[in-house]
Structure 1
Amino acid sequence: MRIGIVGSGAMGSWLRQELSSLHRVLVFDIDRTRSDVSSLEELVRWAEVVIVAVPFWAAREVLREIAPMASGRLVMDIATFKRGVVETYSEFPLDAKVASVHPLFGPGAPSIKGQRVLIMEVPGRQGALEAFRFWSELGAVVEWGDLAKHDYYVSRTIALSYAVGLALARIYAETGEEIFKYGGTSFRYLAAYAFSLLRDPNAPRYAEEAPLEEFIKALSRGDLPKALLDPDAAYKAFYKALEALKDLYG
């Protein structure tokens, strides 16, 4: 199958590597040094399946450009947030198949095999079943997602994690390196996550989507929250995760 990836940086390159074992893959990147073709039109005309792997704030315009050329193709976005993106599929011809997809991992994953991918049906359009089969055949663990609920939950998982992580990174950086002398197990875990976000120049854009008012209200409450995971099992898993950080801290 001919797969066209409209990429932007690491995720597009990672997908190319993973998909190339089963399919013929070409990439069009805004960084032309990473592109296999000279234009978006050339990519879409060649491809049977098009994956739009650009940041969520750029996905809508890319989909608009693809729409007039999408006949007979399966087009999928992997935008982190779907607001304003999914609506663009209404501009696609009726014989185009479309689906909105959310890979629940980043380009640091060792392989696509075993990684979770959500598939969401675009209301009134075909293509979700084809998308489900496509990612399943790659070895991903594919699940159905609810488009209406997607952004609500992602703002409280990905976006809030970015917001908290970036805030911690700023606090730690302003405190200075001596903080490492006094930091215990929780600090080591949180600092590794917080500073890892700095490799992503788009991190502040994701953090902007976090429900900070809700977070601040939660901070002010003194009661313990309901446990969605077994606290004892979570504590053991937490220490196992810390083992992987030994090389970072010595």
Structure 2
Amino acid sequence: MIKKIAIIGAGGRMGTWFSKYFSLRKGTTLILYDINAYSLKGSANTTVCEDLVHCVDRADLVMVCVPISEVPHIIQECATKMKPGAILVEISSIKNRSYKELKRVPNHVKPLCIHPMFGPAAPSLNLMKIILIPVRNATNELRILKELFEGSVVSIIHDAKTHDRIMSIILGLTYFTNLVFASFVSKQDYQSLKQFSGTTFRIQSLLCTSILLDEPDLILALLSQNSTVQKQIRKYLFEAKKLERLLSGHNQFKMKLTLEKLKSFYQEQQSLELSYTQMYRIISYLNKSDGGLN
């Protein structure tokens, strides 16, 4: 039974989220550690440690919530100090190096490699997606994951390389596209654009400004530490250049053909009418919310 949970990097945004989540778990004691210990506060069921060893050696589960570049080193430090049967969880967005380190942990430690596909603003875990990358025993690791995060939607990617390739588009290319958009728009009269914008610009602005809340180190890591991202960016820019050539060459026939092909492809994948409806649901919510873009 998991009674003592240690969170390494508990002062960070995701560390804070998981600390709050596990603090609601009945019968659980939290042991928190962060390099900036002043950011942490103890309570009746929470202990703040100033030493990593004392944080992990008593824990039934250790969750690593540190910056991507630090994950392999922290895994090494934790694994050798953990008690037999304890679970070591890492949640980074890039798995290549961290996965290799989890493969090397001593046999008395149970590794769990997951990727929460949500950010620290998520109001709850309900229906939030978590990806599992099995390390040793997929069946046991899936069981542990479902017990820890009841209510989440679990998907499995069977190796770290495939995970990182998929994330190079889902995260890397998406961040790159929004950063380019944000950079361009920042050089325009942004207040006028907001004042007169319709639904499309409003949604795109919401996306590009929201990712800027992430720590710069995280954004840089997503774009530079995943070896596949640069390749995807080059492909993306190639596609952009092709469209630009069609427009600048006034080739309306080929441009219409391209649009029809895109429409046909996505219509086979999902209902475009549903996508359109969902976009207006988001806009409707923003109109009712004080936090909406106006």
> Structure 2 length normalisation: TM-score?
0.78
Q: Distance in 2 between matches of 1:40 and 1:134?
A: 26
2:203 to 169, 189, 194: 189
Q: Contact conserved, 2:68 with 2:221, CA < 8 A, in 1?
A: no
Q: Deviations over 1:74-98 (max 9, x none)?
A: 1010010101111112431111110
Q: Deviations over 1:61-114 (max 9, x none)?
A: 111111211342110100101011111124311111102001111111101132
2:35 to 16, 30, 39: 30
Question: Does residue 74 of structure 2 align to residue 62 of structure 1?
Answer: yes
- SS of structure 1 residue aligned to 2:130: strand
Q: Distance in 1 between matches of 2:80 and 2:199?
A: 54
Letter matched to residue 239 of structure 1: Y
Question: Does residue 220 of structure 2 align to residue 198 of structure 1?
Answer: no
Question: Does residue 1 of structure 2 align to residue 13 of structure 1?
Answer: no
Letter matched to residue 109 of structure 1: A
Letter matched to residue 204 of structure 1: L
Corresponding residue for 2:123? 110
Q: Contact conserved, 2:89 with 2:111, CA < 8 A, in 1?
A: yes
Letter matched to residue 157 of structure 1: I
Corresponding residue for 1:44? 56
Letter matched to residue 27 of structure 1: L
Q: Contact conserved, 2:94 with 2:222, CA < 8 A, in 1?
A: no
Q: 1:126 to 1:96 in 2, by over 3 A?
A: farther
Identity, % of aligned pairs? 22
Q: Contact conserved, 1:67 with 1:91, CA < 8 A, in 2?
A: no
Corresponding residue for 1:244? 285
Q: Distance in 1 between matches of 2:223 and 2:284?
A: 28
Q: Distance in 2 between matches of 1:218 and 1:242?
A: 29
- The 5 Å alignment of 1:88-107 reads 88-107=101-120
Q: Distance in 1 between matches of 2:71 and 2:140?
A: 18
Q: Distance in 2 between matches of 1:45 and 1:130?
A: 24
Q: Contact conserved, 2:79 with 2:88, CA < 8 A, in 1?
A: no
2:163 to 146, 150, 171: 150
Structure 2 residue runs without a partner (length 5+): 41-47, 244-254
Q: Detail structure 1 runs of 4+ shifted over 6 Å in the superposition.
A: none
- Larger fraction in helix: 2
Letter matched to residue 91 of structure 2: I
Corresponding residue for 1:214? 235
Q: Contact conserved, 2:103 with 2:135, CA < 8 A, in 1?
A: no
Q: Distance in 1 between matches of 2:60 and 2:273?
A: 48
Max radius of gyration: which structure?
A: 2
- SS of structure 2 residue aligned to 1:105: coil
- The 5 Å alignment of 1:150-189 reads 150-177=163-190, 178-189=192-203
Q: Distance in 2 between matches of 1:34 and 1:191?
A: 32
Q: Contact conserved, 1:97 with 1:127, CA < 8 A, in 2?
A: no
Q: Distance in 2 between matches of 1:19 and 1:159?
A: 29
- How far residue 201 of structure 1 moved from its aligned partner, in angstroms, is 2.3
Q: Contact conserved, 1:70 with 1:92, CA < 8 A, in 2?
A: no
Which range is displaced more, 156-165 or 77-86? 156-165
Q: Contact conserved, 1:51 with 1:75, CA < 8 A, in 2?
A: yes
Q: 1:127 to 1:34 in 2, by over 3 A?
A: farther
- How far residue 179 of structure 1 moved from its aligned partner, in angstroms, is 2.4
- SS of structure 2 residue aligned to 1:107: coil
Q: Distance in 2 between matches of 1:116 and 1:96?
A: 25
Letter matched to residue 18 of structure 1: Y
Q: 1:123 to 1:215 in 2, by over 3 A?
A: farther
Corresponding residue for 2:133? 120
Q: 1:242 to 1:204 in 2, by over 3 A?
A: farther
Q: Distance in 1 between matches of 2:202 and 2:111?
A: 43
